[in-house]
């Protein structure tokens, strides 16, 4: 039987249900922590996941996963805005979580370090464009990243406001009053 997460014709509601089921197996306690999410995915795959920021070509993907013998490296475009970087990381983490078989490279460095040579990243980027994920895998990764964002947002919004000292609270109240007074007198 064909895996509906890998089939091109699977309808969106089925994809969402299956992706939600997988994401329900992860812990989404507030406050949201991307490293904790990656740690959970890493434990499932049995390989360490490292992040590697790099200036990727504008005409390429915003990120890619390089699978080596002992670890997985998510390369993401460091020139993107921070929220877009986080989305790209979640998208690439979804490829790892759902065990997509896109770009897989042999152990590239011969050691345990995750630092990658810029030339290596460029080579991997070209490789990923030729032999990347299927359309169905990309759809799953994008839906999963969006659902991760929703869960992360919910976990972020459940975080109580930081406690402020009385002096800070009073200063904030004076500032707000001054702003309101200025608006009403204009």
- The mean pLDDT of 163-176, rounded to a whole number, is 78
Question: What pLDDT is recorded for position 66?
Answer: 85
Question: What pLDDT is recorded for position 95?
Answer: 94
- C-beta of residue 147 within 8 angstroms of C-beta of residue 21: no
Q: Where are the domains of the chain?
A: 12-185
Q: Tokens 């979640």 belong to which residue?
A: 90
pLDDT at 154 over 50: yes
- At 3-25, the pLDDT tens digits run 777 767 788 889 999 999 999 99
List the single range of 22-26, 48-52, 94-98, 104-108 with lowest mean pLDDT. 104-108
* 131 vs 53: CA distance, rounded Å: 22
- pLDDT tier at 166, thresholds 50, 70, 90: confident
The dihedral formed by the CA atoms of 114, 42, 29 and 159, expressed in degrees to the nearest 10: 10
- At 110-148, the pLDDT tens digits run 443 345 555 555 555 544 544 467 788 889 999 999 999
- The mean pLDDT of 30-42, rounded to a whole number, is 94
- At 43-75, the pLDDT tens digits run 999 999 999 999 888 777 889 888 888 889 999
Token pair, residue 174, equals: 């004076």
Report the predicted TM-score, pTM, of the whole model to 2 decimal places. Answer: 0.70
């Amino acid at each position: 039987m064909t895996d509906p997460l890998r089939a091109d014709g699977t309808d969106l509601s089925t994809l969402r249900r299956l992706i939600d089921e997988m994401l329900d197996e992860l812990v989404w306690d507030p406050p949201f922590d991307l490293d904790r999410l990656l740690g959970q995915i890493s434990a499932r795959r049995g390989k360490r996941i490292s992040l590697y920021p790099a200036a990727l070509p504008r005409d390429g993907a915003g990120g890619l996963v390089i699978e080596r013998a002992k670890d997985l490296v998510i390369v993401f475009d460091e020139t993107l805005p921070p929220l877009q970087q986080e989305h790209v990381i979640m998208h690439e983490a979804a490829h790892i979580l759902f065990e997509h078989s896109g770009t897989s490279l042999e152990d590239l460095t011969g050691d345990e370090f995750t630092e990658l040579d810029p030339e290596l990243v460029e080579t991997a980027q070209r490789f990923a464009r030729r032999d990347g994920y299927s359309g169905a895998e990309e759809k799953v990764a994008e839906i999963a990243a969006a659902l991760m964002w929703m869960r992360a947002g919910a976990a972020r919004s459940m975080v109580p406001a930081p406690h402020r000292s009385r002096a800070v609270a009073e200063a904030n109240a004076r500032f707000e009053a001054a702003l309101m007074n200025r608006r009403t007198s204009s």
